[in-house]
Structure 1
Amino acid sequence: MTHLPDPGPYRHAAVRVAVAVLALVAALLPRSQPVSATVSAPTSVRAVAAGSVVSLPGPTGRHQVGTVSLHLVDGTRHDPWVPSHPLRELMVQLWYPAARSAGFPRARYIPALAGRLLDAQTAQALATSVPTGTFHGLRTHSYQDAPVARSAKAGRPVILLSPGDGMDRSSLTSVAEDLASHGFLVAGIDHTHDSGQVEFPGGRVEVAQNIPPGSADEETLVRTADVRFVLDQLTRLNTGANPDADHQRLPAFRNTLDLARTGMFGHSHGAEATAETMLQDRRITAGAELDGGVSDRVAAAGLHSPFMVISGNSAAGHPLTEENLTTLWPRLTGWGRWLRLRDSGHLSFTDFEIFAPELNTPPNTRQQLFGTLDPQRAVAIERTYLLAFFTWQLDHHHQRLLDRPSNRYPEMIFER
């Protein structure tokens, strides 16, 4: 029997459905399987590794994009979801402006063995046929291990990202690559045993666990602790240290990050983790949510740094995942903006918005999860508004797009 993750604080009936299917790995592995697995890809999977039936939109900025993944180990924490794991381990992917791309391969969308699992899970979640190798073979617009482009300023602004329940850092690749192409360094976090499948060096894949009902608040706090640890490791990286647990050779990041200009965004539960991290750690100087709410703590305390929310609409027109936002809003002391993307669904804020039509997802499933907004248009709007927010709040260039509704983007409603 497969188990879907608990919908946590998302109480609206439509949200329960969306969040359940959203965890594309929700059907990850039978409960009887081990928590970690060393998976070998069969010949049929290897044969299609060079191509894929899905694709990602290209970045819109002037920079080429490099990427590298880090294996990080927090020696101060046990794994909260698997007691037999003595230490908290994470995989973190960096996207950054690259000095050059010649001689460097296009990066995989998701590591090979985790991609094999994602193929099967997506087929079940989207109720469609997913050819073997779809994600195993998908290449991105980033170049693996490309050298870091130096900035004329002291360093580049940093943006952390936290994916939705049961999803992986890869689910927000199109947004991460776009931000990196405009000069930001983006760090995407796989929250191990919360994310669907996390592949570690050596072929070990840690899969999502059945987080107990009622543990949504604990899940938020765990994610926040993960983010704060990653921030510590980025500080080390910027000094020239190598925080990778396996001491892999890395591009030169010394003095390339401006950690005084650090923002964060997340989708769904990653959105809630964004607000929670802003409350706990003032190093996050600006935060954006993609279709998510906030914890009771955040709603009561308020937020003091710039904060933007982009909410979605279900196919029936009901609001999604807006827990505590109306309570929070009067308690914002910094700049705030609450937007709503018309005719969108909960998964419109992920790469699966683009993948679903390419995978011939049934119309009813598509409407329930993605709404009726054209996928290319949805992604373009989301990228535009996120870029405007971080350009204004981290790069300090005022963006009139966020002052008032735009005739160019009538799909974006200004709630507050």
Structure 2
Amino acid sequence: MTTRSHRVALAALLTCALAVPLLGAAPATASQQAPAQAKYSVPGTRSTSAPELPRPAGQHPVGRRALHLVDRHRTDPWVPTARGRELLVTVSYPARRAGDGAPVAYMTTDEARLLLEARGLAGVVPAETLAGTRTHARVGAAPARGRFPLVLLSPGFGMPRATLTSLADDLASRGYVVAAVDHAYESLATEFPGGRVMPCVACEEVDGRDESGAVVRGRAADLSFVIDELTDRRRTGALARVIDPRRIGAAGHSIGGATAAATMAADRRVRAGVDLDGDFFVDDAGSGLGRRPFMMVGAANTHSPGSDGTDWAGAWDRLHGWKRWLTVEGAGHFSFTDFPWLGDRLGLPTDPEAPLSGERSWYVTRDYVHAFFDRHLRGIPQPLLDGPTASRPEVEFHRP
């Protein structure tokens, strides 16, 4: 049921997400975020120079295609009168040649405007500045020769897929095909074909654990449908030819991380998964994965063992394959997205309760996620995952 307090709390959460990179709490239900409401202000106008995302570390140049997919066999859970379940998917992949194709835009100006308005940053950061963020991918570049593992990415609740662009492009540069998915009516700033900016109906209707669990299960069905489409040569042609369907992983931020686990439980094709600071919201989280590997990475102040409000301990006990529970000291909820990197470069303030820098947040996220998939989708040994290391003192291993 929609409530005024729910809408106010959601606005508070989103205001902090970019301006103060980083809230500590990770639930998808906005009503639980109210304490962050009036903690910070952002006076004046900040940098108007378009920032640049971190440069991918792999050897491949990165190509990008956007796909509009519609599952006409499913009813949209938020708008039953819609023409099926619509998804927008950005596919990043290893490209054959550097400089092939036009540079990819980070997001449209309308998407940037909506995102900034939702955060109370209209007039602080120009929409054109955020939209003009420089990426390192090229539109329509020819895919590299060979077959590569596929990794699916699902963003946080209310967040567009663009917030995981750095992670997607870095993995692509290392030899992965990466599909970042926007789920219809679950994002505040996604422009669908024809200039349609769908309202975030879910943001108005989700107000509790049960409803959040329904989001997780619906997204899991979305990701399975995306796998079907991307591996069907009749539908995606050259992209399908470079995907190895025997090596598929899933990851996500916040409720997108819960989605990774739920997708693995429902779809045996997904061999490995990562949850970035997301609670699970379903009572049987972790069950159904068998011996398949799963990694949880979260902010230390909310996801360490014994932290109030997190459901990680129960999920951990139901995981019976290779598993890791890592927390990052100084991180906040959005530290595992593009936000802290962009916030630093736009001159926005840092949350004193999440002091880890945007640069450090990015390197920690990048290094552990790619190490996990290299180990479990490629079979490459990764000592980084074996235990604490002096080079990353902020990362703590729990319950080894």
Matched, 1:286 2:253: no
Structure 2 partner of 1:31: none
Q: Is the 8 A contact 2:89 2:181 kept in 1?
A: yes
Map of 1:269 onto structure 2: 255
Task: Give the TM-score normalised by the residue count of structure 1.
Answer: 0.81
- Aligned partner of 2:39 in structure 1 is none
Pairwise mapping of residues 238-277 of structure 1 onto structure 2 (< 5 A)?
Answer: 239=233, 241-242=234-235, 252-277=238-263
Aligned position for 1:367: 352
Equivalent AA in structure 1 for residue 385 of structure 2: L
- Aligned mate of 1:383, from 332, 345, 366: 366
Q: Cα 1:70–1:267, aligned 2, differ >3 Å: closer, same or farther? A: same
In 2: Cα distance, 1:98 partner to 1:356 partner: 29
Distance 1:293 1:267 in 2: 10
CA distance in 2: counterparts of 1:318 and 1:21, whole angstroms = 24
Deviations along 1:52-74, one digit per CA (max 9) or x if unpaired, are 53221110111100001000010
Task: Supply the AA of the counterpart residue of 1:297.
Answer: D
Shift of 1:314: 4.0
User: CA offsets per residue over residues 267-290 of structure 1, 9 Å max, x none?
Assistant: 110011111111111111000110
Of stretches 261-270 and 127-136 in structure 1, the one that deviates more from structure 2 is 127-136
1:185 to 177, 181, 201: 177
Inter-partner Cα distance in structure 2 for 1:200 and 1:400:
42
Percent pairwise identity: 38
TM score, norm. by length of structure 2: 0.84
Residue 65 (1) aligns with residue 48 (2): no
Mapped contact 1:92–1:188 kept (Cα < 8 A): yes
The one-letter code matched in structure 1 to 2:256 is G
Local SS of the residue matching 1:61: coil
**Greater length-normalized contact order (CA 8 Å, ≥ 6 residues apart):** 2
The question of 1:230 aligning with 2:226 is answered yes
Within-5 A mapping of 1:86-105: 86-105=83-102
Cα deviation, 1:120-174, whole Å, max 9, x if unaligned, reads: 33444xx9811231222223110011110012xxx10000000001101110111
Matched residue SS, 2:137: strand
Answer with 169-178 or 349-358: which moved more.
Answer: 349-358
Separation in 2, partners of 1:375, 1:19: 25
Contact 2:265 2:287 in 1 (8 A): no
CA contact (8 A) 1:311 1:322 kept: no
Q: Give the corresponding residue for 2:385.
A: 402
What CA distance in whole angstroms lies between the structure 1 residues aligned with 2:324 and 2:315?
12
Over 3 Å counting, the alpha-carbon distance change for 1:341 and 1:64 in structure 2 is: same
> Which residue in the other structure is 2:116 paired with?
119
Give 1:196's match in structure 2, choosing from 188, 199, 220: 188
- Let me know the Cα RMSD of the aligned residues: 2.9
Matched, 1:323 2:310: yes
Tell me which moved more, 200-209 or 115-124.
Answer: 115-124
CA distance in 2, matches of 1:407, 1:16: 27
Q: Deviations over 1:4-55 (max 9, x none)?
A: 5599xxxxx96279974999xxxxxxxxxxxxxxxxxxxxxxxxxxx95322
Structure 2 residues not aligned, in runs of 5+: 14-22, 34-47
For 1:17 and 1:331, the matched residues in 2 are separated by 20
Structure 1: gaps (5+ residues): 8-12, 24-50, 244-249
| 8 Å CA contact retained: 2:331, 2:356 | yes
Query: Which residue of the other structure, out of 110, 124, 134, is the alignment partner of 2:129?
Result: 134
Alignment correspondent of 2:44: none
The reply to whether residue 106 of structure 1 matches residue 98 of structure 2 is no
Q: 1:20 to 1:356 in 2, by over 3 A?
A: farther
Q: In 2 relative to 1, CA 16–105 (structure 1 residues): closer, same or farther, beyond 3 Å?
A: closer
Q: Which residue of 2 aligns with 1:47?
A: none
Match of 1:235, as an amino acid? T
Cα separation, partners in 2 of 1:191 and 1:79, compared to 1, 3 Å: same
Equivalence for 2:143: 148
Structure 1 residues 22 and 229, CA gap change in structure 2 (3 angstroms): farther
Give yes or no for contact 2:27–2:254 (8 Å, CA) kept in 1.
no
Q: Secondary structure at the match of 2:247?
A: strand
Structure 2: how far apart are the matches of 1:87 and 1:217? Answer: 21
Q: Contact 1:22 / 1:166 at 8 angstroms: preserved in 2?
A: no
Residue in 1 aligned with 2:18? none
Letter in 2 for 1:309: M
Q: How many residues align?
A: 366
Greater shift after overlay, 318-327 or 156-165? 318-327
Offset from partner CA, 1:146-205 (integer Å, 9 cap, x none): 110012xxx100000000011011101111111100000000000111122221222111
- Give the drift of 1:224: 0.7
